[in-house]
Amino acid sequence: MAKPRIFISSTFYDLRQIRVELDKFLESLGYEPVRNEEGDIPYGKEEALQNYCYKEISNIDILVSIIGSRYGSSGISKEKEQEYSVSQLEGKTALKEDKQVFIFIDKNVFTEYETYILNKNNKDVVYKYVDNVNIYKFIEEIKALPHNNNIKGFETAEDITGYLKEQFAGLFKQFMLESKRVKEALVIKDIESTAKTLREMVDYLKEESQGKDEEINRIIRVSHPIVNRIKQALGVNYNIYIEGVTDLAALFNARGYKLVEDLSESHWERTSNRPNSKIVKKIYIKDSLFEEGKLKYIKQEDWDDNFIRIEETETKNNPLDDDLPF
């Protein structure tokens, strides 16, 4: 399982005990400390040793910079051709690569830094707690950074480990919150993508249905509940199409029916003769099925068979009528 790699940057001889304590603390958390004295940095033969330290920083997650009273060995910044110590260049490299950086400064050094600020233009001032004024110049440069310049004073290793424990917990909490926000953002993105797809589908269907409204209406009316009821009433065994009262009248007329305009209720009527009787069939159709002569759409579940009523009567012929002499 991948572990957070934490680079410990400082001068060695004056801070070696703190480096050991910090190493133990990081391992107790399950993290991977990186220290050059422990062989954690692969050195080659082509470049100076400090250059391999700088390269290793690209492979770490966090850099802990500890600034004490010793300046240490020097290096040269390629950007400004300015002299820095090796540990300072490690810190500058981590900042340049936007690594998470924690900077700890010996409290005596940090206190005397204020004296340096008041006297930095005075070359004759002798400082008590540092062996090189470039330490204070570097602190001034760090404090001037717009971000990622988390600076804390320390007296003991416990000051450093206690502060880092709180900071690591805060970073984990921040990671959890950001993970939640990422999930929420992904959900929102999915919703937006779905909405976009739906809009595209609607636009497509609109384009595809342009000029086809009449065809859609025909399909709806062919499957209208009135159709099966009329076919049943008239004994029709083929598909019929009813758009309005005109189609209805043509259908009934073709089947021998006539419209009877009663005062109470109009109906379609047909009389048929049998050898000894006369059959009168009446079909009543509710006017509410039509609006301005057009068939209204009704869902199958809303259909009521009473919308179309069928009455059939049979009248027997009088046999005496056949014996009349005229």
pLDDT in tens, 209-235: 665 656 556 665 667 888 888 888 888
What is the distance between the alpha carbons of residues 222 and 243, in angstroms, rounded to a whole number? 9
* Domain boundaries along the sequence of the chain: 5-175, 223-318
CB of 55 closer than 8 Å to CB of 65 = no
Q: What is the pLDDT of residue 261?
A: 84
Question: Fold for domain 5-175?
Answer: Rossmann fold (3.40.50)
Q: What is the pLDDT of residue 46?
A: 57
C-alpha distances (whole Å) from 274 to each of 166, 255, 280, 315 are: 106, 17, 11, 10
**DSSP notation for 99-140:** -EEEEEEEHHHHHHHHHHHHHTT-TT---SS-S-THHHHHHH
Verdict on whether the full-model pTM lies above 0.85: no
Q: What is the pLDDT of residue 132?
A: 92
pLDDT tens, 133-155? 999 999 999 999 888 788 999 99
CB of 152 closer than 8 Å to CB of 139 = no
pLDDT tens, 237-296? 877 878 888 888 888 898 889 998 876 778 888 988 877 788 888 898 988 888 888 888
> pLDDT-based confidence at 38, cuts 50/70/90?
low
Does residue 324 carry a pLDDT above 90?
A: no
Does residue 115 carry a pLDDT above 90?
A: yes
Q: CB under 8 Å to 300, separation ≥6 — which residues? A: 225
